[in-house]
Homo-oligomer: A and B are copies of this chain.
Amino acid sequence: MGAVQSFREMCDRPKNTNVRLSLPAVCIVWQTAMIILFGVFIRYNEESDTHWVEYKKENNIPSDIENDFYFRYPSFQDVHVMIFVGFGFLMTFLKRYSFGAVGFNFLIAAFGLQWALLMQGWFHSLDYTDGKIKIGVENLINADFCVAGCLIAYGAVLGKVSPVQLMVLTLFGITLFAVEEYIILDLIHARDAGGSMVIHTFGGYYGLSISWMLYRPNLDQSSRLQGSVYHSDLFAMIGTLFLWMFWPSFNSAITDHGDGQHRAAINTYLALASTVLTTVAVSSLFQKHGKLDMVHIQNSTLAGGVAVGTAAEFMLMPYGSLIVGFCCGILSTLGYIYLTPFMEKYMKIQDTCGIHNLHAMPGVIGGIVGAITAAAASESVYGAEGLINTFDFEGEFKNMVPTKQGGHQAAGLCVAICFGIGGGILVGFILRLPIWGDPADDNCFDDEPYWELPEDEESIPPVLQYNNHAINKDVAESNFTMEQN
């Protein structure tokens, strides 16, 4: 830590947020690299290639409707909406950082999904006959999943980094993701359809570690901008609701055809419903006069979806899903009330969106729930074939048993945490280099450094404006009357 400390001082320097050269350079060069790598490696798979006609005949596939496209495309589009509108608008709650929230989310997701197709492709979709990666709709879904991990991390550093830093965060994040995913799913043979471990636990701790490395002792200089305004909270609700509504598609998008997708959707639907009630309960119980806090409604209501990610495809049972959602709503909301301030004050982790409460912690819970559910699986409940299909006890794992699978699930969870923390510290170290154009402590949570803003000051209404500048007697009065409402 001493080393980190000294390094930290070394990096204190006057800030220059001009990214006019670095941002275009990164975008053009990396996109060019993508084109070259795609040219060398990526082709259509047998279901998206014109040879599908022959393929159908050879494999006696009776109809085009059997093309995986029709099993997964609707779920893919829902996931796609979650990535771009869900994550993007969820982060627009800050009064003056909405452009950065939705705009940079858009940028890094668009880059990340290309890099993810390559990284995940090398690990999972490489055709050894010709050394090409063969892609179809399932690869697109997995690429979006992979991107989600980095968008979660973005939530922790929202408003405190430059777009160039975010591109770097994404480049490394996707790379680390693909490796840990390969270790967890293929080597360890853990199941994680909804990515509680692979996506949320990893992404959460990855972002938190980066935020810890980028700790800003004087961030309170930007505190005037760290709140929301009425309409920015409403924009954030658009993100919340699209995440909440489509989460069943997220958790069921890559599960087994038939009962797998069906069950995963039902479990997620139920877990999310019960989370909403406990979130409201805790939010009201811990606020003065029982008033609800939009931060909790925007975020904690989603924790249940995270926490059933792993077990959604198992026979968790409808009441099991409700229980998971019940607990996560409570824990996540309490996290916002107690843990986030504690982490900022004592652990030097400044978590802008509270991703620890929405992703990291529920992700860990999801991993544990998955391990327990897997360990408790039995032929009597799953049926002989059902058990094999659900846990994929085939090939080299055909001698696997549920109890053992439970252990593997737990092992997978540990790997996700280690990759998140380790990777985050490494990348945070890189992001501290004084070359990335990040904003000064008194210039955070502000679109001004990176966006041409319209003339209006709508996001800071006049009254507050006065507060920020010279106080004026009339307005002080009007504030007083307002407080009375």
Contact = CB atoms under 8 A, between A and B. Distances in A.
Contact of A238 (B52, B238, B274, B281): B238
A111 interface: yes
26 contacts: A17-B289, A20-B285, A21-B290, A24-B281, A27-B277, A27-B284, A28-B277, A32-B326, A44-B317, A50-B382, A51-B259, A53-B259, A65-B66, A65-B71, A70-B70, A85-B242, A98-B230, A102-B234, A103-B297, A114-B270, A140-B265, A238-B238, A457-B464, A458-B459, A461-B461, A463-B465
Contact of A294 (B99, B280, B383): B99
A231 B68 CA distance: 40
A189 interface: no
Contacts of A266: 44, 48, 135-137, 140
A449 to B, nearest CB: 8
Interface in A118-142: 135-137, 140
Nearest to A472: B474
Given A24-B281, A237-B102, A274-B35, A462 B461 contact: yes
A324 B390 CA distance: 41
Q: Which of A47, A163, A238, A390 has most chain B Cβ within 10 Å?
A: A238
Given A48-B263, A463-B462, A475-B481, A450 B389 contact: no
B53 A280 contact: no
Given A107-B276, A455-B464, A461-B458, A62 B64 contact: no
A390 B50 contact: yes
Contact of A457 (B135, B290, B387, B482): B482
Nearest to A437: B290
Interface in A141-158: none
Given A24-B285, A53-B385, A259-B47, A457 B463 contact: yes
A337 to B, nearest CB: 12
Interface in A7-27: 17-21, 23-25, 27
Interface string A383-413: 1011101100000000000000000000000
A174 B27 CA distance: 40
A478 B456 contact: no
Interface string A214-249: 000000000000011111111101100110111011
Given A294-B99, A386-B50, A448-B485, A274 B241 contact: no
Contacts of A110: 272-274, 276-277, 301
The 6 residue pairs across chains A and B that have the minimum distance between CB atoms: A20-B290, A50-B386, A64-B258, A52-B259, A110-B276, A462-B463
Interface in A397-455: 446, 448-455
A453 B482 CA distance: 11
A345 interface: no
A476 interface: yes
Contacts of A203: none
Given A99-B292, A229-B454, A482-B485, 12 more contacts: A23-B281, A42-B319, A51-B383, A51-B386, A69-B258, A95-B456, A110-B272, A113-B273, A292-B452, A458-B464, A465-B482, A475-B481
A28 B262 contact: no
Nearest to A314: B50
A348 interface: no
Contacts of A75: 73
A452 B291 contact: yes
Interface string A460-480: 111111111110101110111
Contact of A81 (B23, B66, B245, B476): B245
